[in-house]
Amino acid sequence: MQRNKLRLNEETATHTAILLDGAMGTMLQQAGLPLGVRPESYNLDFPEAIEGIHKSYIEAGSRIIYTNTFGANSHKLQGTGLNTKEVVESAVKIAKRAAGDMAKVALDIGPIGEMLAPNGTLSFDEAYEIFKEMLVCGEKAGADLVVFETMTDLLEVKAGILAAKENTALPVFVTMTFEKNGRTFEGTPIEAMVSVAAGMGCDAVGINCSLGPREIAPLIKRVKALTDLPVIVKANAGLPNLETGGYDLQPDTYAEESVEALLDGVAYIGGCCGTDPEFIRRLKGKIEELQPIPPSVGGGVKEHIIASSATKAVMAGGVHVTGERLNPTGKPRLQEALANESFDYILKQALEQADAGAAILDVNVGHPGIDEARVLPAVVLLLQSVCDLPLQLDTAKVNAMAAALRVYNGKAIVNSVNGKESSMAQILPLVKKYGASVIALPLDDDGIPETAEGRLQIIDKIVGRAEALGIPRRDIILDALTMTVSAQGDSALVTLKTMDLVRAKYGLLTSLGVSNISFGAPNRPALNLAFLTLALDHGLDLALINPNQLSMMEMIAGRRVLLNQDPSMKAYIRFMEVNAGQYQAAAAGGGNQSPGKGTKQAVMEGHTPEDRLSLAIRQGLKTETGLLTGEILQTMDANLVVETILIPALDRVGKDFEAGTLFLPQLIAAATSAQEAFEKIKEKLALEKKASISRGSILLATVKGDIHDIGKNIVKVVLENYGFDIIDLGRDVPVENVARKAVEKNIKLVGLSALMTTTLDSMHETIRALRESCPEAKIMVGGAVLTRNYALNTLKADYYAKDATEGVAIAKGIFGGWDQ
């Protein structure tokens, strides 16, 4: 779609800031808007009042006015008798009438008012549709641009930008609202906002609301350092004044305190809560007084954001570790987890790498039989719900890449593009559209050139194509490719020279998968470490390694100290503390870990390993449980371990819990310890390519609309440890998903949870759907608001489980078991 650039960008090339308007809500309250009445209703009921406010701002100097549509989305208007179309149309019409040719009209869009998943239950697609409706109406009614303001949720902003870009030609302004600490309520830092807004081609970006001009000034400096886009500021009239209930700045002090932002070269300035036309008039006076103000565009990007999540940004400079472990190649346990869609295992691997010091996680779900276009975006959503590291999306499937980029919250790294025509033609437009970074590989239809010069030529081609599409050079990351040194003696040298040539010519950032170098060689860690050291000397920015490998991580930590990147060794010392356990284990026995003297009191000498395992589970000793299980598995069949040790131990714990001599924390600790034992068993079975132990599959879900899933998760942990396979559909699960999955997996037992009176209806519907699609499946329900009577008689569930141990009893009854 041809973008309508208006004359906005030309205007910002002049040396003055363009005046926006001030508050609408404050003015309406002054005009007598009663509490509880939607300001948007005034567009229809009192259009002349709205027009009057617009006019007074234009008279004060505003050259862009915001329509009175902040909360005009269909979600917020629900139940008010108003609809988005009539509100937006009338609001734009009023604004245009007021503006004449004196001002541009910005379609104002505030937050939807509900939180997006994973924090809330609103989906990305729903948010997109809600924005799309406003945008299409607004453009049709004649708005000149759109401004998303007072945003705090980055994914919501992304949905809004996409909806604007895909459905209108309107220029897009984005301002988010930050607290003094430089983060939104949802924890989004300025870096993450800028990476998304600038990356996705917004026309201006900035800050509004929450703080006064003095508090916003340092945040604006930060925005300016990160982008060459025009910067917007709309501060409140100072901080809330508790005594008056208003704000603490007068128009003249407001203008005075805005000087810093003006001198920093903001392109658009206006006011938010508590401001009125007098504030705008004073700002206008101040701008005239300060002439000429330095140019606001073209200052250049001073600090570059390589990648971001909603809450974390990885900045260029120094070396960052990209965790490589979320890749099923050569990892049977991960392959099994993907095949079974038991995503918890994957999420745990992600959190482990984050703990170990990774700054970015590479995510690859490619394996025969996996539909990447479906699974990759699903895994991305799950990862982002628990882990705050930016992700590197690693897939050869273009549709999977597109789907994952769409739902990704933040600026992703695309892994990868290469010199093949098909790759460049398909991948680079995605990189541009979603504002990602991209890993560029020097290979094409003729394979990987053997010389550095040959590899440079391919990079020439990729850089040229990327820049032609408007992808900035700084977003292209070279992976010079690592070939195994045992096959080709100079392979490391070629890689390093490629890095040198490309860095000298284009200044690209670099990434490298290190471990390929040692393939087929003895003592691989030593070669890997040596190669990583060399690559760092050649300017490597992103090291794609296994962050659980201590030697590499400690070398990087040490290197940061020596290069004076870690003042007073803070990170270095923290690294040693975090990894103290590994150091002790290494000192104790060179990696051959066994539960020795250092372990806790419960695992006593003299007992048989079987007794010790049973005791370790009861005491909730996770590490010991894992180690002992490994030991016992060397001589005992896995099934037998489950049957004769694990289940009886858990049964005893369950009985004590029932009896009230043992409490919830201990029950869970025992269950999680047993989980460690099951993990060892699964690893062994996956390695031996044996079928996993399973007493049957149970489907669990927290019903649609409900996000209280901790109870369901407790049930899951406990059931898993009785050898049941749990298919966990998560929380807020649509009715049809439960029914479909139950049919697909031929499920005999479904567990549903709901914790709110308002979501019991969803439970009822889910049960009805299940009865229809798989009448033979038994249904057990649980959750705080449920009673046995209600569950069995009103909901017509088969079972009511008041807690996890009762759930186990029900499952045993249905599937039978070894211990019956």
Q: Which positions lie near other proteins, rule CB under 8 A?
A: 34-37, 111, 113-115, 118-122, 150, 152, 177, 184-187, 209, 344, 347-348, 351, 385-388, 620, 660, 662-666, 668-669, 671-672, 705-708, 710-711, 713-714, 717, 755-759, 762, 783-787, 802-803
Q: How far is the CB of 33 from other proteins (least distance, A)?
A: 13
Residue 244: which residues within 8 A CB-CB, separation 6 or more?
none
Q: How far is the CB of 406 from other proteins (least distance, A)?
A: 22
Q: Are 722 and 817 in contact (CB under 8 A)?
A: yes
Looking at residue 233, the DSSP 8-state letter turns out to be E
Shorter beta-carbon distance to other proteins: residue 171 or 783: 783
Strand 320-326, strand 231-235: pairing? unpaired
Q: How far is the CB of 376 from other proteins (least distance, A)?
A: 20
Q: How far is the CB of 42 from other proteins (least distance, A)?
A: 16
Q: How far is the CB of 601 from other proteins (least distance, A)?
A: 12
Separation of alpha carbons 499 and 718, rounded Å: 51
Looking at residue 796, the DSSP 8-state letter turns out to be -
Separation of alpha carbons 103 and 106, rounded Å: 10
Shorter beta-carbon distance to other proteins: residue 104 or 680: 680
Written as one letter, the residue type at 192 is A
**Element counts in the chain: helices (H) and strands (E):** 34, 23
What is the enclosing helix (H) or strand (E) of 176?
strand 172-176
Per the listing, tokens 């392109």 go with 267
Q: How far is the CB of 791 from other proteins (least distance, A)?
A: 11
Shorter beta-carbon distance to other proteins: residue 56 or 713: 713
Q: Are 339 and 307 in contact (CB under 8 A)?
A: no
Q: How far is the CB of 111 from other proteins (least distance, A)?
A: 6
DSSP string, 278-339: HHHHHHHHHHHHTPSPPPSS----SS-EEEE-SS-EEESSS-EEEEEEE--TT-HHHHHHHH
Shorter beta-carbon distance to other proteins: residue 187 or 410: 187
Q: How far is the CB of 616 from other proteins (least distance, A)?
A: 15
Separation of alpha carbons 625 and 320, rounded Å: 34
Q: How far is the CB of 179 from other proteins (least distance, A)?
A: 8
Neighbouring C-beta atoms of residue 690, cutoff 10 Å = 11
Strand 231-235, strand 268-271: pairing? parallel
* Euclidean distance between the first and the last CA atom of the chain, given in angstroms as a whole number: 67
Shorter beta-carbon distance to other proteins: residue 385 or 594: 385
Shorter beta-carbon distance to other proteins: residue 12 or 177: 177
Q: How far is the CB of 700 from other proteins (least distance, A)?
A: 14
Strand 313-315, strand 305-308: pairing? antiparallel
Residue 412's nearest CA partner among 389, 390, 440 is 390
Separation of alpha carbons 487 and 495, rounded Å: 14
Shorter beta-carbon distance to other proteins: residue 723 or 782: 782
Q: How far is the CB of 589 from other proteins (least distance, A)?
A: 26
Q: How far is CA 402 from CA 125, 157, 242, in A?
A: 15, 18, 49
Q: How far is the CB of 672 from other proteins (least distance, A)?
A: 5
Q: Are 414 and 437 in contact (CB under 8 A)?
A: yes
Q: How far is the CB of 25 from other proteins (least distance, A)?
A: 9
Q: How far is the CB of 388 from other proteins (least distance, A)?
A: 8
Indicate the burial class of 114 (C-beta count within 10 angstroms; 0-12, 13-18, 19 or more). middle
Q: In what side-by-side order are the strands of the sheet with 749-753?
A: 725-728, 697-702, 749-753, 778-782, 799-800
Q: Are 155 and 409 in contact (CB under 8 A)?
A: yes
Q: How far is the CB of 332 from other proteins (least distance, A)?
A: 21
Q: How far is the CB of 758 from other proteins (least distance, A)?
A: 4
Task: Tell me the β-bridge partners of 748.
Answer: none
**What's the angle, vertex CA 430, arms to CA 174 and CA 414, rounded to 5?**
100
Q: How far is the CB of 366 from other proteins (least distance, A)?
A: 23
Shorter beta-carbon distance to other proteins: residue 43 or 702: 702
Peptide bond just before 773 cis, omega within 30 deg: no
Shorter beta-carbon distance to other proteins: residue 56 or 210: 210
Written as one letter, the residue type at 809 is A
Q: What are phi and psi of 197, to 5 degrees?
A: -65, -45
Q: Are 725 and 696 in contact (CB under 8 A)?
A: yes
**Residue 396 has which token pair?**
């050869």
Residue 53's nearest CA partner among 272, 238, 276 is 276
Strand 697-702, strand 749-753: pairing? parallel
Q: Are 134 and 94 in contact (CB under 8 A)?
A: no
Shorter beta-carbon distance to other proteins: residue 35 or 504: 35
Q: Are 72 and 91 in contact (CB under 8 A)?
A: yes
Separation of alpha carbons 200 and 475, rounded Å: 13
Shorter beta-carbon distance to other proteins: residue 350 or 427: 350
Shorter beta-carbon distance to other proteins: residue 213 or 711: 711
**Residue 214 has which token pair?**
């003095």
Shorter beta-carbon distance to other proteins: residue 508 or 804: 804
Q: How far is the CB of 180 from other proteins (least distance, A)?
A: 9
Q: How far is CA 488 from CA 444, 491, 805, in A?
A: 20, 5, 59
